[in-house]
Structure 1
Amino acid sequence: MIQAQGLTKVYGAKTAVDHIDFEVRPGVVTGFLGPNGAGKSTTMRMILGLDHPTAGRVTVNGRRYRDLPAPLREVGALLEAKSVHGGRTAYNHLRCLAKANGISPRRVAETLDLVGLTEVAGKRAGGFSLGMAQRLGIAAALLGDPGVLLFDEPVNGLDPEGIRWIRQLMRSLAAEGRTVFVSSHLMAEMALTAERLLVIGKGRILADTTMSAFIAANASSHVRVRSPDLLALASLLTARGCRTAPAERGCLLVYGVSPAQIGDLAYAARLRLHELSVVQPSLEDAFMRLTADSVEFHAHARDAA
């Protein structure tokens, strides 16, 4: 288990993490979400003792990371896939880690096989693609067979097969009773992987709940409408108090009203409908709504030509 109490990190005039409390429990995959600059990486670095808190504390299984007698056997982490000596082979990289932590060479071979790198174990890590480097980083995290695992953007550079593999791996590790804490910007993938969510924005915890409860609390289903009479239909719906939002060309999103009610209104006004479909709420919708005020940089769409 990972526990934080009043965890704070200040860099000069900037508060990166602001007195946060949370628990990451064993047996489930906990997703860690937040906009860029929200404090995710800083929090993970403090868990691993790479950054020292300005105030508060964070522990792994009741101890600070630096006080763990055999860290690699208790905590495995992937924070930066390319943080490997490029001149070492994949095998030698893991062998050095194993020797320093009293882990047998047999475990090195097992871990390379687990992540699918056995055939390239003798190749230098400096020549690895990002996807191969990710797999090597995951192998290093798993090397000590730890009960607590942290993964920061673990699917970067992976192909579809690799993404599915790491998703299944994280879920299987949690099913074994391990603590699995993973951050990612890929909302669709996180929705398939995590059972609980910890959401941070501007250094503060915005949500700490289950995936289903988070989506239910921050997003709602809506109706996607496609019509050649879209402007007239939008005016009609707005006049009836419906909330609408533009979608792709020829489409409209309508909130707070059923497809049947939209169809009846359109029929009465002699407006044509080409599509009425219910769009279920998504993690992306819920995340965007909750963190709208926590985004540091806002891009703007280009005007259509």
Structure 2
Amino acid sequence: MIELDRLTKRYGEKTAVDQLSFQVRAGVVTGFLGPNGAGKSTTMRMMLGLDRPTGGDVRIDGRHYAQLRSPLHEIGAVLEARSVHPGRKAYQHLLCMAQSNGIPRRRVDEVLDQVGLGSVAHKRPKGFSLGMGQRLGIAGALLGDPRILMFDEPVNGLDPEGIQWIRNLMRQLAQEGRTVFVSSHLMSEMALTAEHLVVIGQGRLLADTSMARFIEENSRSFVRLRSPEVERLREVLDSAGYRPRAAKDGALEVEDAPSDRLGELAASHGLVLHELSPQQASLEEAFMRLTASSVDYHGHTRPTSPDGGPGAPAPQWGAGWSGGRTGAESEGA
């Protein structure tokens, strides 16, 4: 288990992580979400002892990372996949990691095959694509067969086959009872992979809940109904105490009502329905709704002139943008 207790990190007057407390449990894939600048990368660096907290504490199974005698056996992490000596061959890179942690040489071949790099094991990473570099970073995380794994943007640079592979790998690791903690900006992938979510904004905890509950609590759910007798359907719904709202395509939308009840109501009045479909917001929509007030950097599209061409002032950057960022503000995750 990973435990954070009021974890705080300040850079001068900038607070990157603010009194952050949560637990990452074993047996599930936990997604770590937040807008740019939310403090995700800083938090993960403090978990691994790469940054010193200003306040609070973070422990791996009750110990600080520096207290782990064989860290690669305890926790494997990918924070920056391209952090590899470009002149050292992929096999040599992993062999150095293995020898420094008492891991047998045969494990190097095993993880290279596992991530699909067996055929380029003796090539230098400077010629690797972004996706191949990502696979090499994942191989390093798996090297010690750890009980805890942390991935920061693990699908970055991967092709569709690679994305499906890492998705299935994370699920498999969690099913084996391991702790899997993954940060990503790709909401579609998080929706397919994570079972639990930790969401932060401006360094503060916004949500710590299951995927299903997060979407339910931060989105609008409703039922769409289409009928050739839409006005009569509206009257029936009104008389039953519902408040249907007209959609642009002529359908009716009803909130806070189960679809089966609405279907039975229409059938009891002899109404034909061409559509009866429950609608639920996506993870992306729920995330945008929750974090709307926590986004530091807002982009703006250029308005068009009446004739459809450009004719408005250049877009303005979000509040506080000054053409560059400090070390804390460049927190990209």
**TM value normalised by structure 2:** 0.77
Matched, 1:297 2:297: yes
Alpha-carbon distance in structure 2 between the residues aligned to 1:42 and 1:253: 46
SS in 1 for 2:216: helix
SS in 1 for 2:32: strand
Find the structure with the greater CA-based Rg: 2
The gaps in structure 2 that reach 5 residues or longer are 227-241, 267-273, 309-333
RMSD (CA atoms): 2.6
Over the matched positions of the two proteins, sequence identity in percent amounts to 65
Cα deviation, 1:219-272, whole Å, max 9, x if unaligned, reads: 12357899xxxxxxxxxxxxx9877899xxx899967488989xx9xxxxxxxx
Alpha-carbon distance in structure 2 between the residues aligned to 1:184 and 1:224: 32
Equivalent in the alignment of 2:281: 281
Alpha-carbon distance in structure 1 between the residues aligned to 2:114 and 2:297: 39
Equivalent in the alignment of 1:148: 148
Give the letter aligned to residue 54 of structure 1. Answer: T
Q: How much has 1:282 moved relative to structure 2?
A: 1.1
Alpha-carbon distance in structure 1 between the residues aligned to 2:255 and 2:302: 29
Residues 70 and 101, structure 1, Cα contact 8 Å, conserved in 2: yes
Equivalent in the alignment of 1:114: 114
Distance of aligned partners of 1:253 and 1:115 in 2 relative to their CA distance in 1, 3 Å threshold: farther
Give the letter aligned to residue 75 of structure 1. Answer: I
**TM value normalised by structure 1:** 0.84
SS in 1 for 2:209: strand
Alpha-carbon distance in structure 1 between the residues aligned to 2:30 and 2:276: 35
Alpha-carbon distance in structure 1 between the residues aligned to 2:246 and 2:206: 27
Residues 115 and 139, structure 1, Cα contact 8 Å, conserved in 2: yes
Residues 225 and 251, structure 1, Cα contact 8 Å, conserved in 2: no
SS in 2 for 1:43: helix
Equivalent in the alignment of 2:18: 18
Alpha-carbon distance in structure 1 between the residues aligned to 2:98 and 2:8: 33
Distance of aligned partners of 1:216 and 1:134 in 2 relative to their CA distance in 1, 3 Å threshold: same
Residues 91 and 121, structure 1, Cα contact 8 Å, conserved in 2: yes
The gaps in structure 1 that reach 5 residues or longer are 227-239, 265-273
Q: What pairs with 1:65-214 in structure 2 (closer than 5 Å)?
A: 65-214=65-214
Cα deviation, 1:191-236, whole Å, max 9, x if unaligned, reads: 110000000001111000110011111112357899xxxxxxxxxx
SS in 2 for 1:112: helix
Matched, 1:63 2:63: yes
Q: How much has 1:285 moved relative to structure 2?
A: 1.1
Residues 195 and 211, structure 2, Cα contact 8 Å, conserved in 1: yes
Alpha-carbon distance in structure 1 between the residues aligned to 2:129 and 2:253: 44
Residues 219 and 280, structure 2, Cα contact 8 Å, conserved in 1: no
Alpha-carbon distance in structure 2 between the residues aligned to 1:20 and 1:157: 30
Cα deviation, 1:102-130, whole Å, max 9, x if unaligned, reads: 11110000000000000010110111100
Q: How much has 1:20 moved relative to structure 2?
A: 1.1
Distance of aligned partners of 1:243 and 1:57 in 2 relative to their CA distance in 1, 3 Å threshold: farther
Distance of aligned partners of 1:215 and 1:6 in 2 relative to their CA distance in 1, 3 Å threshold: same
Q: How much has 1:300 moved relative to structure 2?
A: 2.6
